[in-house]
A and B are shown apart, each in its own frame.
Chain A
């Protein structure tokens, strides 16, 4: 691999890795804001409305930064991989263009939502304005995901004499990877944002903040978190089955399966030793990989040895794959425990006490960064797992690379730039909320239950 290619990949990877944080927040946070306002209007409880407002303030800052990083990624896509854009642009341009309109709608309604909070005589009209934001934000993310799905599982064109012809834009969008990628991206975005909010809320509670406002935030985030954790696991399983069928080299690398075999085991943990072509240590669950991939305990699973050396993805993605699953499992466990503690708070009050104890809260706090760690690890699996291809089996990354000598220069400009942006964004959020401490418009009514369930209706 040339130095230019390495630099190009590092640059693209870092840019995407940075942008995905804001993209995921952009996709996920509007739902929580909309739900909080909905509950607040339904129960005529202004502390929920305050919650919606404060989450909105955070969203506005993150949305602006996300839009900017998105533009950088777009520019890099055109600059670093011009041959990809030229040859396959005509096939997959459509979702990008649709995304512009989704983003437009989102930006418009965000402006209305934020700046016209009290301008509607019927407050439900204001809440209605949150719906285009929820839909637009998720649609934007999913449309870009479709473009990625195309790269993994190309469709909608034919190669004739080395040229891309017979283009069908819709078929390109509705390629085999699209269903599982969309579902998994959708679920994991809500999961990561749910636990981000859990983390922030629990942090406040650990620092002494109490009351209904924080409990509401925690309950809402955890309920959404639980539903999306289950969804993430189901979609993750479906994604695994997709990969087994359409990108077997990726499966082999992510499972670190060196040798093709029937009844392949799933090995949890351990160290990957490429020299001896095996995993040292770890717990082997016999035949599980075959079952998970094909629904048949004795199905043959292709190992890395089934592919030419230059088409094998780097096997270190096995570690990122395990990191993703471990994080997801932890989140599902925590969310389930919390859900149980809410549902069975009368039968098992001790569980409630454990969850809301210092230990329980720290366990929940860890979930915050873990959600995003899972997202980053997952993207590493799917993107690095597609190596050496930029369009699977059609174009290699090395062939798409620009001939410009400025790639290292770009790398050295953008990396510090991202670092500065990250620090500045964190500082902005911290400073913003420090200067606007929570001031609830209505005092906590005495005699209210300490931890009301969000499912409980109030008279």
Chain B
């Protein structure tokens, strides 16, 4: 049961990582498009994708946290105390980002300064959210976190000095570029806009290469900070890492032929696979400890009757959820070009007639 619960939660976490990476990349790219490149077509494309799904993507994080609290209540004092500052920062930026999306409909002409500030707020907060949450993957780094029998704490000095954290942060940033490029390439595959398609291809290619390099850096940092984990990674999970490498090669090859619509989809899928497999390896590396050196998953597990009840709810919930998610993503991601946005909202159209 503990492994099952851990796997389910890891799935939620992974889904959040992927969707949040693409949302963050989209948000940052939006700001870049509006403020630096003055490219409205790009900005509009991104906003058309982001608006319907960003709130839903956040729910994956909520599902992970609530699921963690439900299945492994004993970790709460540790995680809560240790992640207080990073989570606080992430929450603040989530609030800013959420507020921006409400504000987004404001006419750009009315007060260009405020709407540019709002766009800047979106870009910065989009990037800060994943960066703020990155420490969660470095729980075993004793330079950063200190766990006792009762609680945990984070070292502020460790935040700036830990090489593991820097490597993770770098990986996060380049992965955002990589995944966003792959996704947007898929999303706009049917559009005829050549300059958008080339931009996304470049993002995917160079982002991919950078991701490969930063993974290597991460490996080195891991060996330096937590050698026992690095050894586990190499010893037990080399097969998974090899699959990830193969997936990477597959992605890059698919990119070469991505003018074929389905190839873009394949590239995205392979890219996600690459991260899925690496993520599984990373999680396995950390097992059995949820709180490094202090609490294993079996110790942290809740009462069996509650675990069973939660699992029943999980299956029932998934039955409702999966069709709904499929509907949402089908309407807004797989087939976004059915209706031009001006027609879908006459009030917005009125707004747009500058």
Contact = CB atoms under 8 A, between A and B. Distances in A.
Interface residues of B, number: 66
Interface in A53-112: 53, 57, 60-61, 63-65, 67-69, 71-72, 74-75, 78-79, 82, 85-86, 89-91, 93-94, 96-101, 103-105, 107-112
Given A71-B62, A413-B88, A64 B55 contact: yes
B294 interface: no
Contacts of A441: 346
Interface stretch (A213-221, A233-241, A364-372, A430-438): A430-438
Contacts of A112: 52, 327-328, 331
A119 B69 contact: no
A96 B56 contact: no
A127 B107 CA distance: 28
Contacts of B74: 86
Given A86-B73, A111-B328, A417-B92, A74 B65 contact: yes
Interface in A312-341: none
> Which of A110, A170, A417, A436 gathers the greatest number of chain B CB atoms within 10 Å?
A436
B77 A82 contact: yes
A72 B51 contact: no
B231 to A, nearest CB: 33
Nearest to B74: A86
Interface stretch (A28-36, A191-199, A421-429): A421-429
A436 B351 contact: yes
A398 B98 CA distance: 35
Contacts of B316: 101
A349 B351 CA distance: 41
B80 A97 contact: no
Contacts of A94: 70, 306, 309-310, 313
B99 A425 contact: yes
Interface string B287-307: 000000000000000110110
Given A71-B62, A167-B306, A439-B350, A57 B327 contact: no
B130 to A, nearest CB: 16
A402 B77 contact: yes
Contacts of B150: 403
Q: Which 4 A-B pairs have the closest CB atoms?
A: A61-B102, A89-B73, A64-B98, A101-B317
Interface of B: 51-53, 55-56, 58-59, 62-63, 65-67, 69-70, 73-74, 76-77, 79-81, 84, 87-88, 91-92, 94-95, 98-99, 101-103, 105-107, 110, 150-151, 302-303, 305-306, 309-310, 313-314, 316-317, 320-321, 324-325, 327-328, 331-332, 338-339, 343-347, 350-351
Given A96-B70, A97-B70, 8 more contacts: A91-B306, A93-B310, A98-B313, A107-B56, A111-B56, A428-B99, A439-B347, A441-B346
